Amino acid sequence: MSPNHLEAQVQEILFPADVRINGSRRWDSNVHNEGFYARVRRQSSVGLGETYMDGWWNCRELDQFFFKIFAAGIEQRAARSWHAISLFLKSIIFQSTDEIAFHRSGQGAP
C-alpha cells in the first residue's frame, strides 16, 4: 500500500474524533516519520503508543488527543472495520477453495 493511501486511511479513522494529522490545533498530531501510518494500521493502539514513544509523532496536548480518541470510540470503530474486512476476505478465500475442490472432484465439471 502506498504511503499516501495509508495516511488517508489513518486520517479517515481519526476524523470522527476531530483529530487531524499535521493540523494546527493543540490536540492534532504532528507526524515526523512516514512509517507511522503503516505501523498504526498494522498494530492499532499499540502502534500508536509505540510510535509516540519512538518520537515518530507528537501532540501539544496529548491528554486532549486521547480524550477525543476515547470519546469517539476510535479503537472500537477501527476494530469493527478490520473485523468486517477480515470476515469478508475469509469468505472469499474459503469460497474459492471450496469451488476448486468441487470442480476437482468432477462434480462441478462444466
* 3-state SS string for the chain: CCHHHHHHHHHHHHHHHCCCECCCCCCCEEECCCHHHHHHHHHHHHHHHHHHHCCCEEECCHHHHHHHHHHHCHHHHHHHHHHHHHHHHHHHHHHHHHHHHHHHCCCCCC
Is-above-0.85 flag for pTM? no
Is there a contact between 74 and 17 (Cβ–Cβ < 8 Å)?
A: yes
Amino acid 106: pLDDT:
62
- Confidence category of residue 80, pLDDT binned at 50, 70, 90: low
